[in-house]
Structure 1
Amino acid sequence: MKSNKAAETGWTNQIWVYFKGIIAAYLFSLVIFLVMALMITYTNISESILPIFTSVILILSITISGIYTGTKLKRKGWLNGALTGLVYILLLFMMSWIFVDGFSIDRWTLYRTIIAVISGGIGGMIGVNMK
């Protein structure tokens, strides 16, 4: 029978895995957005591609986060990845609400949330099945 300390350590480890996966996703996003900003600044790339680009980066970074959590936790990849995607997008919405004037919750917010959960779940499934 496991002691309470062992159970707490398991939860603590799981929370750290989520935390590390989300931080890795945000760092990946930050690096890619900085590269894209430099490319827009110093080349003839149009700013009109930004909405598509941000969606692709959102999906890729959440999928990477899901893969990380699925690889580390080794079980229920779809659930752990989906939770990672949900936390990622909720943190993003909270930061937007704090720092962006006029931020509102609309149907696009809902779509992004659904995409984040699905991307995270797919990443988690991939992570669990990686060897």
Structure 2
Amino acid sequence: MSILYGVLSIFIIITISSLIISLILRFTDLQEHSINLFVTILSFAALFIGGFICGGKGRQKGWLAGGMTGVSYTFLIFLMQYLGYGHVFSFSQIVYHICYIITAMMGGVLGVNVLSNRSEKF
């Protein structure tokens, strides 16, 4: 169940970020290529936060919970890309998604440690 919370939080963060970025691109003179790094950082932050939430909800084995959150996210993106557009992942996308999974794992480990220690104090 904690994986579902993590994946949902990732999609909520990404949806809100996409809306804000699209509005910025629409109503300013910025071009897509000028904010690629910013979008990549937001993506990694979303995966980290999703892993953190998943680890906090699971309260044990944060690396596994975060990793499963990252794998679930990657699987959903792959399904959308393959079934919707008929394309498989390119090499650069594979590298990004491996890094996403690792980032979600780190978030899961931190989520278990931070949120478990906080709940023990109260």
TM over 0.5: yes
Distance of 2:45 and 2:31 partners within structure 1: 22
Asked if 1:39 corresponds to 2:24, the answer is yes
TM-score by length of structure 2 reads 0.85
Give the superposed CA RMSD: 1.5
The alignment-based identity, stated in percent, is 24
Q: Quick one: distance in 1 between partners of 2:45 and 2:12?
A: 12
Q: Which runs of 5+ in 1 are unaligned?
A: 1-15
Given the superposition, is the C-alpha separation of residues 54 and 97 from structure 1 closer, same or farther in structure 2, using an over 3 Å criterion?
farther
Q: Count matched residues.
A: 115
Q: Check if 1:128 corresponds to 2:112.
A: yes
Structure 1 length-normalised TM: 0.80
Q: Which runs of 5+ in 2 are unaligned?
A: none
What amino acid does structure 1 have at the position aligned with 2:113? N
Instruction: List aligned pairs for 1:61-72, cutoff 5 A.
Output: 61-72=46-57
TM-fit CA distance, 1:50: 4.9
**Residue among 54, 57, 60 paired with 1:75:** 60
8 Å CA contact 1:82, 1:116 repeated in 2: no
C-alpha displacement at 1:55, in angstroms?
2.3
